Amino acid sequence: MGDMLTTPTVIVDEQILDRNIAAMARVMADKGIALRPHVKTHKIVEIARKQVDAGAAGLTVATIGEAEVFAAAGFDDLFIAYPLWLTRSSAARLVAVAQTARIRFGVDSVDGVRNAGARLGDAVRSFEVLIEVDSGHHRTGVHPDDVGEIALAAIDAGFAVAGVFTFPGHSYGTDQAVPAARGEAKTLRKASRSLVEVGARKHVRSGGSTPSALDADGTSLTEARPGVYVFGDAQQWELGRIEPSDIALTVLATVVSRDDGPVGRRVVLDSGSKVLGADRPDYASGFGRLIDHPQARIVALSEHHATVEFPSDATLPVRGSRIRVVPNHVCTVLNLVDEVAVVRGGLVVDTWPVAARGRNN
């Protein structure tokens, strides 16, 4: 496959992808949790179809732009898991998307839900909102005690309140998945009681991230929204949540420069931050990993260069070699390319467009 493709390029192994999709569907079915995968990870219609075919209850998106792309592709149940601040123009776009899909979106303040109601006008009754709660990630979301007040404001504005949601993003840390899943469950149960108090009896309790999903509590969550699990990435690998053999997406790169001299035993690949993304959490060993050279480390990354150091006993790849890189955070990679090469058994069998690439507003 290597010679046909111009590097750097993104490759998806369809057999591993299918296996990952089936495995998460099975885990969630066993727990009795509805799976609503987050498609911001892949932004690819063909992959969303596989997820729904495997039993996903609907899709999660991050933006109205992503909702537009997936609604146009025929997906009719979308949750925008984000506290939208609507303007006249974004409200009009939301109303247009709701012609073909059930749209739920997030709110995390009385101001936000009142503004949304005012912007949507008569169309407000077509929409359901979920109230975001903070389960320890301290980004968006309110304390569970504040859920009742926002729910009442939402009802007052004309919305149906569909439930509560949280993102346990602090699961992305060494040994944090289990405590984050526990905090998620506790927070959602508390938030849920606040909803019951204001009369919203039957409702969704939505949580989930890829690291915490396997430990998600099926009695506390009714729905989970993992995204990264379809591909895996170096973060999940280094957090110990997946094996390298579960990684479905790599960036094919070429060795363009090589130094076996005094500065270090290193090569430079043509896969820089403009294809790998620049995310580098504290726990990461570098700016991505080499799947066939697990001992090597990407010690520096610029826009078109990845500098890779090899241990002293390893054979340094020659110039012109092709090497597969596992990005640290795969969600950023799919936002950088217009298409991916699909391989089965090492052969390129298809090209999928990244339909929602750049649709970030």
- Which residues contribute to the site for a second copy (CB under 8 A)? 3-4, 6-9, 40, 62-63, 82-85, 87-90, 108-109, 111-112, 115, 138-141, 169, 254-258, 263, 268, 270, 272-275, 277-280, 300, 302-305, 307, 318-320, 331-332, 335-338, 357-358, 360-361
Give the nearest distance from C-beta 310 to a second copy in angstroms.
15
- Residue 277 beta carbon to a second copy: minimum distance, rounded to whole angstroms: 6
Residue type, 158: G
Q: Determine the residue type at 123.
A: A
Would the CA dihedral through 142, 145, 149, 154 be positive or negative?
positive
Residue 291 Cβ vs a second copy, minimum distance, rounded to whole Å? 19
Shortest distance (Å) from residue 74 CB to a second copy: 24
Token digits of residue 279: 């995310």
* Integer Rg of the chain from CA: 22
Nearer to a second copy, 27 or 226 (CB): 226
- Closer by beta carbon to a second copy, 8 or else 207: 8
Peptide bond into 317 cis (omega under 30): no
Beta carbon nearer to a second copy, 25 or 191: 191
- Which CB sits closer to a second copy, 16 or 355? 355
Q: How far is the CB of 261 from a second copy (least distance, A)?
A: 8
To the nearest whole angstrom, how small is the minimum distance from the Cβ of residue 245 to a second copy?
A: 27
State the DSSP H helix or E strand holding residue 69, giving kind and residue range, or none if neither. helix 64-72
Rounded distance between C-alpha atoms, residue 158 and residue 142, angstroms: 21
The DSSP code sequence of 281-329 is -TT-SSS-EETT-TT-EEEEEETTEEEEE--TTSPPPPTT-EEEEE-S-
* Pick 53 or 145: Cβ nearer a second copy: 145
Q: Least CB distance from residue 53 to a second copy, whole Å?
A: 26
Task: Kindly tell me which of 36 and 359 has the beta carbon lying closer to a second copy.
Answer: 359
Q: CA triplet 272, 357, 345: central angle to 5 degrees?
A: 70
Choice between 194 and 222, CB closer to a second copy: 194
Q: Which is nearer to a second copy, 20 or 115 (CB)?
A: 115
Distance, in Å, from the CA atom of 281 to the CA atom of 279, rounded to the nearest integer, reads 6
Report helix, strand and coil shares of the chain as percent, to nearest 5: 35, 25, 40
CA distance to 29, 251, 271, 354, per residue, from 274 (Å) = 38, 12, 8, 16
> At its nearest, how many Å lie between a second copy and the CB of residue 278?
4
Q: b/e for 229-257, b at 16 or more Cβ within 10 A?
A: bbbbbbbbbbbebbeeebbbbbbbbbbbe
